[in-house]
Homo-oligomer: A and B are copies of this chain.
Amino acid sequence: MVKQLKLNALEEHLHDGMSILVGGFMCVGTPELIIDEIVKSNVKDLTIYCNDSGFEEQGVGKLIKNNQVKKLVASHIGLNPYAGKLMSSQEMDVELIPQGTLAERIRAGGSGLGGILTQTGINTIVEKNKQIINVNNQSYILETPIRADLAIIYGNKIDQYGNTMYRATTRNFNPVMAMAADKVIAQARHMVQQLDPECVHTPHIFVDYVIKEEDSD
């Protein structure tokens, strides 16, 4: 049985300086309730890994607006002008990573790989300060794994064991992030008895805590 967590008990799992993987793609599939609670906790100096910087009032944008983010690692920050402003003024450290490389680095972190070789970013500033490896006369960038202290993910249906299914394009980064953190907390849109074992997107062994959005079956 997966452990249920009350929103107001989330704070125990947060601390200054921690790193957090945040699911979602332009806030589609982002666990907003959990983010609201992190805003309330006011923990500082966070390193956030997310596809993007959300919007000013939505997704990880709320953490950025509350000046809780020391470093943001993302593929895109174009829809959050405040994030761009903090990047320009160097008040927030922003590392931009190609989206596929970001997904694959997180997957490597969750899969025990020491890294992966990709041609994405070769001959661009993305290769700066990275090892270039030659395989069959082709040059590849060695991209290293990403892991974090915590992953917060958004499941559409989570069963009593913690097995998780996402819905439509809310899936995005959630499954890889669920594998790459020391602790995983999921926001559940619906709790159900049991999911079809052929259709589980994230096996229960990855999900440590579930926060119910509403009661349902």
| Interface set of A (CB-CB < 8 Å, partner B) | 104, 108, 111-119, 131, 133, 135-136, 138, 140, 142, 144, 165-168, 196-199
- Which of B115, B165, B196 contacts A140, CB < 8 Å? B115
Chain B residues with CB under 8 Å of A115's CB are 116-117, 133, 135, 140
Please state if A136 and B131 are interface contacts (CB–CB under 8 Å): no
Chain B residues with CB under 8 Å of A118's CB are 112-114
**With contacts A131-B133, A133-B133, A196-B199 known, is A138 near B114, CB below 8 A?**
yes
Chain B residues with CB under 8 Å of A113's CB are 104, 116-118, 140
Q: Min CB distance, A165 to chain B, in Å?
A: 7
Q: How far apart are the CA atoms of A136 and B115 in the complex, in Å?
A: 11
Q: How far apart are the CA atoms of A108 and B117 in the complex, in Å?
A: 9
- Which of B108, B112, B133, B166 contacts A114, CB < 8 Å? B133
Please state if A198 and B117 are interface contacts (CB–CB under 8 Å): no
Chain B residues with CB under 8 Å of A131's CB are 133
Chain B residues with CB under 8 Å of A142's CB are 117, 133, 135
**With contacts A165-B198, A167-B198 known, is A112 near B116, CB below 8 A?**
no
Chain B residues with CB under 8 Å of A136's CB are 144
Q: Min CB distance, A104 to chain B, in Å?
A: 7
Q: How far apart are the CA atoms of A165 and B200 in the complex, in Å?
A: 13
- Which of B116, B138, B166, B199 contacts A117, CB < 8 Å? B116
